[in-house]
Amino acid sequence: MTKLASIINMKGGVGKTTLTFNLAAYLAELEDQRVLVIDLDPQANATVVSTDGEKYKEHLATKKTVADIFVHAYKTYGPVRSPKVSNLDIKDFLYEVYKSKTSKGRFDLIPSELMLSSVLKGMSLGPYDLDKLLTPAVRLQYDYILIDCAPTNSSLTTVALNTTQSVLIPMISDSFGAHGTALMKQVLEEHAYDYGVSPKVIGVVFMMWENQNNQVTQSNEIIKSWTTGKVFRSKISKNNWYRVANGKRINIWNTAAGSEYKKEFENFVKEFISKA
């Protein structure tokens, strides 16, 4: 069965895209899994870190991005929109990030672009899921589908949560963490009320961990806010090698980062697999 997850935090700068990219790459390269990442953030950070500049330009010239999903999801007849359209062909959207030569492992991306913000300004009606693209047949082609989301509660958040019905929450254990927890819970509760979909919380993972006293204190308060087992035992340490890796468009285990940092990410992935 395909596992789906929206990766969301209402606060920016928590390492959300770094987590998404490295998780997808690890699953594809080291776990031989078929992974699809959908960049649903108008800032397109997951696209930037996952793509080669020239190949991305070629993609824009010959294929589609996530913005086109919303442009073409409805046929327009005058001022009236009709949802009676055929399914979209995922082959028109895919950018190949990684493909194993010896196993089924692969990492595909549906990239974003800045135009997505302009498209959303003109949207007055849905679509509120990605079912026209992620048909049952398409879902069977992947072991994991991850959606990298913008740090705002918008129509894109609604689309992601309705599509995946589950959420992975990266969080920094600081003074904003408790507020972020309350905000995320509010978003999930409102979504359940508005759409009748109660997203499963796969878990909360602490990012940029430094094991300082104030972080430990804050983390204990955040842990109390979630039901037992919803906070990952694994933590992702603050480590400049992630920034270096992002700049080079590579994952953390292909850098000179210390083995302890690579091991902790491996532990996180193993825990994610069991929770997802």
User: Could you report the per-residue pLDDT of 23-52, keeping only the tens digit for each?
Assistant: 999 999 999 999 999 999 989 999 999 999
**Percentage of residues of the chain with pLDDT beyond 90:** 68
For residue 163, the enclosing domain spans 3-275
**pLDDT-based confidence at residue 89 (cuts at 50, 70, 90):** very high
pLDDT number for residue 18: 96
Determine the average pLDDT of the residues in 43-67: 93
Determine the average pLDDT of the residues in 126-144: 90
The answer, yes or no, to whether residue 117 has pLDDT greater than 60, is: yes
What distance in Å separates the CA atoms of residue 10 and residue 3, rounded to the nearest whole number?
23
Over the chain, what is the mean pLDDT? 89
**pLDDT-based confidence at residue 72 (cuts at 50, 70, 90):** low
The answer, yes or no, to whether residue 1 has pLDDT greater than 80, is: yes
User: Could you report the per-residue pLDDT of 96-116, keeping only the tens digit for each?
Assistant: 999 999 999 999 999 998 777
pLDDT number for residue 77: 45
pLDDT number for residue 58: 95
The answer, yes or no, to whether residue 78 has pLDDT greater than 50, is: no
In degrees and rounded to multiples of 5, residue 191 shows phi and psi of -65, -45
Q: Which of 67-71, 118-122, 169-173, 201-205 has the lowest mean pLDDT?
A: 118-122
The answer, yes or no, to whether residue 159 has pLDDT greater than 60, is: yes
**How many domains are contained in the chain?**
1
Q: Which of 148-162, 176-190, 237-251, 253-267 has the lowest mean pLDDT?
A: 176-190
What distance in Å separates the CA atoms of residue 139 and residue 133, rounded to the nearest whole number?
9
The answer, yes or no, to whether residue 76 has pLDDT greater than 80, is: no
Angle, CA 16 vertex, CA 11 and CA 21 arms, to 5°: 165
Kindly provide the residue ranges of all beta strands, DSSP E only, lying in 154-254, ordered along the sequence.
Answer: 166-172, 200-207
Model's pTM, two decimal places? 0.92
What distance in Å separates the CA atoms of residue 7 and residue 201, rounded to the nearest whole number?
10
- Dihedral of alpha carbons 253, 242, 9, 219, sign: positive
- Dihedral of alpha carbons 107, 110, 113, 117, sign: negative
**pLDDT-based confidence at residue 120 (cuts at 50, 70, 90):** low
CATH of the domain at 86: 3.40.50.300
**pLDDT-based confidence at residue 118 (cuts at 50, 70, 90):** low
The answer, yes or no, to whether residue 182 has pLDDT greater than 80, is: yes
User: Could you report the per-residue pLDDT of 191-229, keeping only the tens digit for each?
Assistant: 999 999 999 999 999 999 988 877 888 888 888 888 888
The answer, yes or no, to whether residue 82 has pLDDT greater than 70, is: no
